[in-house]
């Protein structure tokens, strides 16, 4: 008799646990379903004035955030050798002794297109202080298909011409994406004369922040 | 001996109950264990459709873009931008004649309102025109897209999807 009670109790406990599991599963699925029905992204109205007014403060706030930089700040810039659009090999080490900006961009990256004209102007503005800028394209290259790769290189060159890019353009950022921890574009590194990364930015960054970072690169390591 | 058997039965039942609490069912898998967790666009549904054999029909494929991001539409306004495409592996016994993409919404980056873009955001639906032969077919495809948020763009990616087509 006593044994039957124990077995019955055990079965009731197990059954209760199973019901509890079912309820927990149901509640979790319901919360996941309601999360899927959550608010969707709000687009900025395409009327020019409202868009500029609504977006600018948010951008300034975010660029001040640590999330918009990279873990390479303060470290020596990893060396690389990449080809330019004419097939000439260009090494980062060859720029040592000069302040340098390395901008990783892509033809499909709309925010990059906003920054590129700023780099062109800043390149001219600070050329007297030795500033060099390198643009490294992150566009895909079909290395196994020479004909396709030729077209892809030509598209990058056409884009650079259209954008009036007045600084060297290197290709195949993918080859250095691990070195520079690239996962979004634009990503820009500001390197001083000693080859140290003094600042970096990820995403569209206000022009005055870019200029301040350039000044940092020019100023830092100047006496060494 | 009987007591031992009862105790053993109880332990087994308890273990089964605890396992059912701890275990996550396939559709409840967390993002960290999901190989697609780096995707910014996910295929939502349907996972399975039942269609009439030998007849052209339309299946709505639902996708969702991560909050805060947008992707170029199938018809971006600039040549250099990467369009959203669906690459379908047509299995034996299934004919897919076309995939209709919705029109994009107008968008402009706040820092440059002159650069007009045509994008998808939130949830969007592709219409697949399909004629299956009788039987069970797995239609697999890959959505190629390139996502951006308001300040940053991410490299192009491919989101896998599959629909089990049952045709009678």
ipTM of the complex: 0.72
Output A138 or A72, whichever has higher pLDDT: A138
- The Cα–Cα gap between A192 and A222 comes to 8
pLDDT of residue B1: 52
B60's tokens? 């709505």
String of DSSP letters for A199-222: EEEES---HHHHHHHHHHHHHTTS
The candidate with the shortest Cα–Cα distance to A184, out of A160, A204, A199, is: A204
Q: C-alpha distances in angstroms, A107 versus A137, A158, A186, A195, B79?
A: 8, 10, 11, 27, 9
What is the number of CB-based contacts under 8 A between chain A and chain B? 156
What b/e readout covers A22-44, taking b as 16+ CB neighbours within 10 angstroms? eeebeeeeeeeeeeeeeeebebb
**Using the 8-state DSSP alphabet, how is residue A179 labeled?**
T
- The Cα–Cα gap between A46 and B108 comes to 6
- A59 lies within 8 A of chain B by CB: yes
For residue B12, pLDDT over 60 is answered with no
What domains appear along chain B, each with residue ranges and CATH number?
A: 37-167 (2.60.40.1250)
User: Does the predicted model carry a pTM greater than 0.90?
Assistant: no
What tens digit of pLDDT does each residue of B73-86 get? 999 998 889 999 99
Q: What is the mean pLDDT of residues B62-77?
A: 96
B112 contact residues in A (CB cutoff 8 A)? 110, 113-114
- The Cα–Cα gap between A77 and A102 comes to 10
What tens digit of pLDDT does each residue of A171-196 get? 999 999 999 999 999 999 999 999 99
A200 contact residues in B (CB cutoff 8 A)? none
How do strand A89-91 and strand A81-83 relate by DSSP bridges?
Answer: antiparallel
Q: C-alpha distances in angstroms, B93 versus B37, B57, B86, B129, B138?
A: 32, 14, 20, 14, 10
Quick one: pLDDT band at residue B92, thresholds 50, 70, 90? very high
The candidate with the shortest Cα–Cα distance to B134, out of B46, B51, B57, is: B51
Nearest chain B residue to A205, by CA: B151
Report CB contact under 8 Å: B116, A11.
no
Is residue A2 within a helix (H) or strand (E), and if so which, with residue range?
helix A2-36
| Residue pointed to by tokens 């992150």 | A138
| SS3 of residue A75 by DSSP | coil
What tens digit of pLDDT does each residue of B110-159 get? 878 888 899 999 999 999 999 999 999 999 999 999 999 999 999 999 99
Quick one: pLDDT band at residue A17, thresholds 50, 70, 90? confident
């Amino acid at each position: 008799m006593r044994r039957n009670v124990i077995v019955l109790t055990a079965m009731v406990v197990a059954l209760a646990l199973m019901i509890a599991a079912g309820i927990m599963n149901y509640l979790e699925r319901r919360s996941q379903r309601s999360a899927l029905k959550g608010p969707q992204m709000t687009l900025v109205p395409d009327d020019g004035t409202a868009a500029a007014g609504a977006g600018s403060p948010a951008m300034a706030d975010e660029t001040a955030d640590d999330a918009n930089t990279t873990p390479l700040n303060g470290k020596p810039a990893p060396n690389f050798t990449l080809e330019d659009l004419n097939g000439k090999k260009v090494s980062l080490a060859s720029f040592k002794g000069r302040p340098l900006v390395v901008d990783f961009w892509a033809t499909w990256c709309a925010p990059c297109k906003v920054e590129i004209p700023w780099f062109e102007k800043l390149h001219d503005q600070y050329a007297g202080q030795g500033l060099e800028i390198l643009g490294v394209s992150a566009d895909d290259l079909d290395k196994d298909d020479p004909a396709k790769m030729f077209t892809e290189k030509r598209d990058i060159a056409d884009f650079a011409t259209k954008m009036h890019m007045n600084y060297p353009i290197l290709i195949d950022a993918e080859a250095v994406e691990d070195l520079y921890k690239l996962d979004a574009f634009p990503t820009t590194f500001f390197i001083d004369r000693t080859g140290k990364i003094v600042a970096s930015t990820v995403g569209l960054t206000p022009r005055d922040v870019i200029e301040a970072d350039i000044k940092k690169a020019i100023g830092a390591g100047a006496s060494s | 001996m009987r007591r031992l058997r009862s105790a053993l039965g109880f332990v087994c039942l308890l273990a089964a109950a605890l396992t059912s609490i701890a275990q996550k069912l396939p559709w409840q898998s967390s993002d960290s264990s999901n190989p697609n967790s780096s995707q910014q666009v996910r295929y939502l549904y349907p996972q399975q459709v039942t269609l009439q054999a030998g007849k052209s029909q339309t299946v709505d494929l639902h996708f969702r873009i991560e909050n805060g991001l947008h992707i170029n539409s199938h018809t971006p306004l600039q040549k250099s931008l990467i369009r959203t495409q669906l690459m379908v592996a047509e299995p034996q016994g299934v004919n897919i004649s076309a995939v209709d993409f919705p029109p994009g919404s107008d968008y402009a980056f706040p820092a440059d309102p002159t650069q007009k873009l045509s994008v998808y955001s939130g949830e969007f639906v592709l219409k697949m025109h399909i004629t299956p032969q009788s039987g069970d077919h797995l239609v697999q495809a890959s959505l190629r897209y390139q996502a951006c948020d308001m300040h940053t763009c991410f490299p192009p990616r491919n989101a896998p999807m599959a629909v089990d087509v049952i045709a009678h």
